Structure 1
């Protein structure tokens, strides 16, 4: 593997962020050996899985409303631009995952919540084939969450493993996408990705997340998005309204104050300290999307989380 830079950050320099006192920096990425990799999913995430594994922390897609931003604060980095540009790589993720799966109870795992597992860093590190192999070898059900077309590289592996892939497409308005998801592929590119995954035999759905209050929640916007998702060939849409947990809230509202200052007061009314949207508002939006899904012959909502008996335990009975 060729690198344009290699340095071991001085562990005695206490003025540096925690990550810089513990990590090896290669080619602009921070390599940090993980002690554990299966981590609890915050309830505010709004997904079905309760546990997740993330090969990367931080994400070059730079989505303003990404709910994973707070984890960077624990590394001594900020939850804004540092999250977007200072990507933490866990090179031993597959090794640790295999060890932890040996004691796992078979509950479904989410993959890629701490940072898109098919962002640019994956082109360099190629961690995902090993992660998929560990999960498939143990018989653990899993869902990969991504916006990255690089997932097509592993489509055959994912199909053989019986994995689910959830591609995020919150809206199809490119003006909004360029402002809110500046580093992510276009909505059209993701729609094409969904079609290719379906054609490859991968169990794929679209996560309509995050629906942005007062920006992408108008009836015509929701209708256009669901219509184009249906045309891509998927059978299920999972809507998630924007969450603003600590770490995400500050960065998102800072951007909102610059791009749409007239909306800041309304957002402060909508979101309390928990970062969750009001139940009435969320119910109205998800209800509208559910009705649109019925019109286009799709299911709406998260599929039930899967649990399987661990493969190792089954072999022990033979």
Structure 2
């Protein structure tokens, strides 16, 4: 079975190769993300493994079908990079990764959050200018005297909540489907209550097209506690960035850490010589160090990549042998 895997960074290759010892697939590992320009790389392969920001739209799906691809897999939880309806129409067997190490994303969200809480990014910028004076922007509230909001209390959100709880914070949570087994960790509140009372809000909910685009917007920001910090290591589509910028400009929002963006391939995974080719993202960038962009690194850890690859290869093996997998995209 010949399978091409897109978006494989050099540091990830040994993980792919080790996992493949259980399957002996004929692997092609490329660091490129799938685009319209490199679709011909797929020729001669029966299976394709994607990652986020690979383009599996109608144009590329037609090409895959023409090239004889039978199996279309993604090593991601999200599937919004695939035109699923059209892929089903063309008859591809598809599977995804329902979860991977929740610690990978929660660690990034917590670490960027704590860095902003203690103004470390601001201090780093001062150090870059050989400025070691102490000013009022370095002053910080202690975490144990703070309230943290967790939006989305699934696997990742709960791990992040545990980290903040371990530092002594009070934890409020919001979820469309509240759990009844986490009362010792957090207290559920409405979205408005969280934004009114929390010192930092961390997003960990999925993006559901047509249901929660831009639900983090000025309607919520009108309720925010002054000098709130927002961390998004979930999905970029959740935030209205024009509204975010407006409330950073008026200093209602203190700092923001963004590991995901809407249409993030415009910004991420490339080095920009001039301005960022998106007006609102450039405006946010200009607010650094109050704004931190990280290029979708939440899953960029040893355990997360291992989980993604192991599950993806198992999915393919199951589909080949039985016609389906427990993680089929239906």
TM-score (norm 2): 0.31
TM-score (norm 1): 0.32
Q: Which has the larger radius of gyration?
A: 2
